[in-house]
Structure 1
Amino acid sequence: MNNSIVLGTSFSPEYAKSLGCENPLKLLKIINKELGIKDIRLGLRWNVVERDKKISLDYYDKYLKYLFKNDCKVCLNIGPIKIFRWPEEHIPRQISVKKGEYITPDMDIAKYSYQYFEKLLIL
């Protein structure tokens, strides 16, 4: 039995900015190069990826390019409704949902979530 442990981390550029980090890409480079962490979970916020009903990874492009260029193992946390780091919910403004409301498959939010997944797969 191989008893090795691999250290990885979750990385959120938005969360880094909320903590006062002016350059989240520089922070990601420090995590990778100085700490030697190559297993990175990157959270894609639904409200960042989908704006005005258009799907785009432009905001995350520089982080993804860096990770792939440096042979990191990337796990995309795509939500869509909940994702790691507070606040957990990142629903686009154009979709209305009441706070604490139980979501069922027939609700618009559930349908939008499914459509979001389909659009991400096309990218």
Structure 2
Amino acid sequence: ESEPNWILKDALGNGGGRVWPLTSANWRGVSRLAFPDDLQDARAPMVIQRYVKHPKLWPGGFKFHLRVYAAVFGDLRWYVYSRSLVCIANKPYYPAASSDGKKGVTSGEAERLRGGGDGDAAHPSLFIDRER
């Protein structure tokens, strides 16, 4: 089977629970899993994103992603919310095909601390608050 080029995931999910790698060979099966006819949440919003085989890592080998909220209008005016979120995984990332058997970890499995919260994750998410 070919390597995945795309990932299908629940837009409202967190922690990698509803994530499917898509290939030219498996897309029909994945679509049946992600959009079953008999489930109430079959119309839940989904996101397709390009699969990154060698992701950029946070220092120490942790996956991360940025969450930036923006509003773009039809006349191309745009606004970016002044508080953005850096989400950092709480365990080091290892590629899925790692020879030592360690599991790859997504940044969605990170502990999230909001604005200096009281969690105890080794690498908590950080708020970046920059006024522009």
TM range (shorter): under 0.3
Greater percentage in strand: 2
Greater percentage in helix: 1
Using structure 2 for the length normalisation, give the TM-score. 0.22
Greater gyration radius: 2
